[in-house]
Amino acid sequence: MAVVNKDPYAKPVLIGGLVVIGAAALVLVSSLFHTISRNSTVGAQDNTMAVAAAADNIKPIGTVVTVDKSVAPVARTGEQVYTAVCTSCHTAGVLNAPKPDDKAAWEPRVAKGLKGLLTSATNGLNQMPAKGGDPSLTDQELTDAIVYMTAKAGFDLSKEAQAAAPAGGAAPAAAATQAAPAAQGAAPAAQAAGGNGEKTYRSACFACHDAGVANAPKLGDKAAWGPRIANGMDTLYTHSLTGFNAMPAKGGNAALSDDDVKAAVDFMVSQGK
């Protein structure tokens, strides 16, 4: 029978290995319990959803906007009204509209007095639409525009305007601008920027095209716009820029850029297709 030699180091190595493994297991278990203890909250309850639901239940159904009715809108001056509304016809004398500096044309009209001029401007006369086609104009703004135009022609209606103003009311806004020299050009107050066609239309073209003055095709009238569109956009641009029949160049507002006028044509054509 063979004799097996025993390794004197086998037992100590085995025991040492078991000790190392046990120590490692102990460290791992201790670390696990420490992590659980650090990241847990004893006795706390997660109420996140309950808080969100409560906030949703008590949020306002709507909002209320208060307006101070004691603050009146700022009135436009006579020059601003003329530039935004009246210039389309009066600058070029469309359909015999008296030009601002044409004293002879204004003389028989001024003879009616400010009240008569205001009545004609408010209700419309011949081809001129009521309030120049802008129903938002107030009586005071319309009065100031008349005083401004007649002042450029050499007539002073400011005293009549002051007499007609309500007691304690402010003097007509046109009084501050009536002394402007006739040769001074009015800067466009509502001129469209960046070629905005609709804004240009509302500021310069609407006076004739809304009411069909002098057979101007009304906005949205497909039957009237059809044959004009058939002539091509280049022809429409040329007519608008240089004038055609009773329509003055650039609708009577020479301060408009070519791009603005073309944009307004594009807008009207888009509504007439």
Q: How would residue 241 be classed by pLDDT, with cut points 50, 70 and 90? A: confident
Give domain status of residue 24, yes or no: no
Instruction: Give me the domain span that covers residue 122.
Output: 78-176
**Do 94 and 156 share a domain, yes or no?**
yes
Give domain status of residue 54, yes or no: no
- Assigned token pair, 220: 């949205």
**Do 150 and 203 share a domain, yes or no?**
no
Quick one: pLDDT at residue 53? 64
- Assigned token pair, 46: 């997660």
**Do 129 and 210 share a domain, yes or no?**
no
Three-state DSSP state, 209: helix
Lowest mean pLDDT among 14-18, 113-117, 145-149: 14-18
**Do 113 and 172 share a domain, yes or no?**
yes
Quick one: pLDDT at residue 153? 85
Indicate the residue among 145, 176, 207 that finishes a domain: 176
Inform me whether the pLDDT recorded for 82 exceeds 50: yes
**Do 205 and 170 share a domain, yes or no?**
no
**Do 166 and 255 share a domain, yes or no?**
no
Inform me whether the pLDDT recorded for 234 exceeds 50: yes
Q: Taking Cα atoms as reference points, which of 122, 131, 89, 97 lies closest to residue 216?
A: 89
Give domain status of residue 157, yes or no: yes
Give domain status of residue 124, yes or no: yes
Tell me what the pLDDT averaged over the chain comes to.
Answer: 75
CATH of the domain at 148: 1.10.760.10
Quickly list DSSP for 126-181.
TTBPGGGG-TT--HHHHHHHHHHHHHHTT---HHHHHHHSPTTPPPPGGGGTTTS-
**Do 205 and 137 share a domain, yes or no?**
no
CA distances from 27 to 16, 37, 56 (A): 17, 15, 48
**Do 126 and 213 share a domain, yes or no?**
no
Quick one: pLDDT at residue 39? 62
Strand-pairing partners, residue 244, are 247
pLDDT in tens, 21-71: 888 888 887 888 777 776 655 555 566 666 666 666 666 665 555 545 444
Inform me whether the pLDDT recorded for 221 exceeds 70: yes
Give domain status of residue 16, yes or no: no
Our count of domains for the chain comes to 2
Inform me whether the pLDDT recorded for 186 exceeds 50: no
**Do 166 and 207 share a domain, yes or no?**
no
CA distances from 241 to 90, 198, 218 (A): 17, 17, 18
**Do 158 and 203 share a domain, yes or no?**
no
Give domain status of residue 97, yes or no: yes
Task: In whole angstroms, give the CA distance from residue 213 to residue 245.
Answer: 12
Give domain status of residue 2, yes or no: no
> Which residue reads 């107030």 in tokens?
138
**Do 155 and 216 share a domain, yes or no?**
no
**Position with higher pLDDT, 110 vs 193:** 110
**Do 171 and 248 share a domain, yes or no?**
no
Give domain status of residue 6, yes or no: no
